């Protein structure tokens, strides 16, 4: 059983600030890898390779892929930060609906849970 730190990343894998920097320092995120499991973390891109903000329609497939991964790793726990709500500039009500129907091994941030309630 592994506890994963799920953070907002960019497709270039430049984990230089915010939750991405935390993921590198404390959870094994790999510099240069912007998507998926890495160490005891999982990156969900909210920015592209040029660090421009991805539209919500481009973020959603990455969230759905993460949810599939979490479902297939039901013995692990996934602690999601408020991805997209920091440097990407989205609000919880923009991102939270993407997590609708999340599995019980996924812990969402309070602000996402409030939006889904």
Six-digit token string for 11: 């497709």
Cα dihedral sign for 44, 47, 48, 54? Answer: positive
Cα dihedral sign for 38, 81, 63, 34? Answer: negative
- What are the chain's domains? 3-116 (3.40.220.10)
Give Cα 107 distance to the centre of its chain. Answer: 11
Do residues 63 and 99 touch, judged by C-beta distance below 8 A?
Answer: yes
Render pLDDT for 39-98 as a digit per residue (tens, 0 to 9).
999 999 999 999 999 999 999 999 999 999 999 999 999 999 999 999 899 999 999 999
Q: Is the pLDDT of residue 22 over 90?
A: yes
Do residues 103 and 70 touch, judged by C-beta distance below 8 A?
Answer: yes
- Whole-model pTM: value is 0.95
């Amino acid at each position: 059983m592994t506890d994963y730190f799920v953070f907002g990343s960019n497709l270039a894998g430049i984990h230089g600030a915010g939750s991405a920097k935390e993921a590198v320092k404390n959870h094994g995120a790999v510099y240069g890898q912007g998507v998926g499991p890495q160490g005891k973390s999982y990156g969900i891109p909210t920015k592209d390779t040029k660090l421009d903000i991805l539209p919500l329609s481009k973020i959603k497939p990455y969230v759905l892929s993460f949810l599939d991964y979490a479902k297939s790793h039901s013995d692990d726990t996934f602690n999601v930060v408020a991805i997209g709500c920091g440097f990407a500039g989205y609000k919880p009500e923009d991102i939270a609906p993407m997590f609708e129907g999340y599995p019980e091994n996924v812990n969402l941030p309070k602000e996402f849970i409030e939006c889904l309630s």
